[in-house]
Structure 1
Amino acid sequence: MSPHDLTSPQRRAFLRRSGQLALTGTALPFALNLAAMGEAAAFNAPSNDYKALVCVFLFGGNDYANTLIPYDDTNYNLYSAIRGGGTGQTAGGIALAKSALAGTLLSPLAAPTDSQGQTGRQFALNPAMTGLANLFNVERKMAVQLNVGPLVKPLTRAQYNDPNRALYPRPPQLFSHNDQQSIWQSSSPEGSTVGWGGNMGDLVLGNSLNTSSVFTCMSVSGNAVFLSGDTALQYQVSTSGAIKIKPATNTTVYGHASVATAINNLLRENRVHKLENEYNAVTKRALDAEAAIAAAVPASEDATVFQNIGFPTDSLGNQLKMVARLIKGRSTLGARRQVFFVSMGGFDLHDNLMRDHGGLLGRVSAAMTAFYNATVELGVANQVTSFTASDFGRTLASNGDGSDHGWGSHHFVVGGAVNGGRFYGEAPPINVTDGSGSPRVYSAAEQWHVGQGRLLPRTSVDQYAATLAKWFGVTDTEMPQVLANINNFGTPASRADYPWDMGFMA
Structure 2
Amino acid sequence: MSANRRIFLGRCGTAGAISVGVSLPGIWRGAIRAAGNQAKPGGRVLVVVEMAGGNDGLNTVIPFTDDAYHKARPTLAVGKDRVLKVTGQVGLHPRLAEIRALFDDGQVAVVQGVGYPRPDRSHFRSMDIWHTARPEKVDLRDGWLGRALELDPRALGGGVPALALGTEKLPLALLSSRVNVPNVQSMDAYKLVAGPGDSSTQARSRQTLREAVALHGASGSEGGAASELDFLRRTADVTLTSVDRLGEVAKAYKPGATYPGTGLAQRLQVVAQLIAGNLGTQIFYVSLGGFDTHSRQQPAHEGLLGELSGAVGAFLKDLKSHGLADRVMVATFSEFGRRLAENGSLGTDHGAASQMFCIGAGARGGVLGAHPSLTDLVDGDPKHHTDFRQVYAALLEKWLGYPSEPVLGKGFKPVDCVKV
Q: TM-score, structure 1 length as denominator?
A: 0.66
Partner of 1:493: none
1:500: Cα distance to partner?
Answer: 2.9
SS at match of 2:55: coil
**Matching residue within 181, 195, 202 for 1:234:** 181
Partners of 1:244 and 1:290 within 8 A in 2 = no
Partner of 1:71: 64
* Deviation per residue, 1:143-164 (Å, 9 max, x gap): 101111134xxxxxxxxxxxxx
Partner of 2:210: 261
1:190: Cα distance to partner?
Answer: 7.7
SS at match of 2:49: strand
1:502: Cα distance to partner?
Answer: 2.5
Do residues 126 (structure 1) and 106 (structure 2) align?
Answer: no
Distance in 1 (alpha carbons) for counterparts of 2:204 and 2:337:
52
Q: Which amino acid aligns with 2:50?
A: F
Partners of 1:309 and 1:374 within 8 A in 2 = yes
Partners of 1:71 and 1:98 within 8 A in 2 = yes
Distance in 1 (alpha carbons) for counterparts of 2:226 and 2:219:
6
1:268: Cα distance to partner?
Answer: 3.9
**More divergent stretch after superposition (295-304 vs 373-382):** 295-304
Q: Which amino acid aligns with 1:233?
A: N
1:195: Cα distance to partner?
Answer: 1.7
**Matching residue within 215, 222, 240 for 2:168:** 222
Partner of 1:378: 322
* Deviation per residue, 1:93-132 (Å, 9 max, x gap): 111222222xx2225xxxxxxxxxxxxx421111111100
Matches within 5 A, 1:269-308: 269=218, 271=220, 273-275=222-224, 278-291=227-240, 294-295=243-244, 297-298=246-247, 301=250, 305-306=254-255, 308=256
Q: Which amino acid aligns with 2:407?
A: V
Distance in 2 (alpha carbons) for counterparts of 1:388 and 1:380:
20
Distance in 2 (alpha carbons) for counterparts of 1:292 and 1:384:
29
SS at match of 1:147: strand
Partner of 1:177: 123
**More divergent stretch after superposition (224-233 vs 370-379):** 224-233
Q: Which amino acid aligns with 2:272?
A: A
**More divergent stretch after superposition (193-202 vs 227-236):** 193-202
**Matching residue within 360, 377, 400 for 1:415:** 360
Partner of 1:502: 416
1:296: Cα distance to partner?
Answer: 5.4
Distance in 1 (alpha carbons) for counterparts of 2:205 and 2:401:
53
Distance in 2 (alpha carbons) for counterparts of 1:352 and 1:368:
25
Are the structure 2 counterparts of residues 69 and 323 from structure 1 closer, same or farther at C-alpha, using a change threshold of 3 Å?
same
Distance in 2 (alpha carbons) for counterparts of 1:254 and 1:141:
43
* Deviation per residue, 1:241-271 (Å, 9 max, x gap): 53869xxxx9979989876533222344472
Distance in 1 (alpha carbons) for counterparts of 2:237 and 2:131:
28
1:405: Cα distance to partner?
Answer: 0.7
1:358: Cα distance to partner?
Answer: 0.9
Do residues 350 (structure 1) and 297 (structure 2) align?
Answer: no
- Rg bigger for which structure? 1
Q: Which amino acid aligns with 1:106?
A: V
- Structure 1 segments unaligned to the other structure (5+ residues): 1-44, 85-92, 108-120, 152-169, 432-445, 490-498
Distance in 1 (alpha carbons) for counterparts of 2:410 and 2:242:
37
SS at match of 1:286: helix
Distance in 2 (alpha carbons) for counterparts of 1:62 and 1:390:
6
- Structure 2 segments unaligned to the other structure (5+ residues): 1-37, 194-198
Are the structure 2 counterparts of residues 222 and 324 from structure 1 closer, same or farther at C-alpha, using a change threshold of 3 Å?
farther
Are the structure 2 counterparts of residues 287 and 144 from structure 1 closer, same or farther at C-alpha, using a change threshold of 3 Å?
same
Partners of 2:54 and 2:350 within 8 A in 1 = yes
Q: Which amino acid aligns with 1:186?
A: T
Are the structure 2 counterparts of residues 288 and 423 from structure 1 closer, same or farther at C-alpha, using a change threshold of 3 Å?
farther
Q: Which amino acid aligns with 1:278?
A: S
Are the structure 2 counterparts of residues 175 and 300 from structure 1 closer, same or farther at C-alpha, using a change threshold of 3 Å?
same
Partners of 2:331 and 2:358 within 8 A in 1 = yes
1:457: Cα distance to partner?
Answer: 1.4
1:291: Cα distance to partner?
Answer: 4.5
Q: Which amino acid aligns with 1:185?
A: H
Q: Percent identity?
A: 27
Partner of 1:402: 347
Partner of 2:387: 460
**Matching residue within 202, 208, 213 for 2:159:** 213
Do residues 341 (structure 1) and 285 (structure 2) align?
Answer: yes
Partner of 1:26: none
Distance in 1 (alpha carbons) for counterparts of 2:73 and 2:313:
29
1:302: Cα distance to partner?
Answer: 7.9
SS at match of 1:199: helix
Do residues 359 (structure 1) and 303 (structure 2) align?
Answer: yes
Partners of 1:215 and 1:235 within 8 A in 2 = no
Are the structure 2 counterparts of residues 272 and 312 from structure 1 closer, same or farther at C-alpha, using a change threshold of 3 Å?
closer
SS at match of 1:99: coil
Q: TM-score, structure 2 length as denominator?
A: 0.78
Distance in 2 (alpha carbons) for counterparts of 1:340 and 1:418:
17
Distance in 2 (alpha carbons) for counterparts of 1:256 and 1:141:
42
Partners of 1:241 and 1:322 within 8 A in 2 = no
* Matched pairs, number: 373
Q: Which amino acid aligns with 1:213?
A: G
**Matching residue within 440, 450, 465 for 2:378:** 450
* Deviation per residue, 1:314-366 (Å, 9 max, x gap): 11111111111111112xx3x1x511110111111111112221111011011
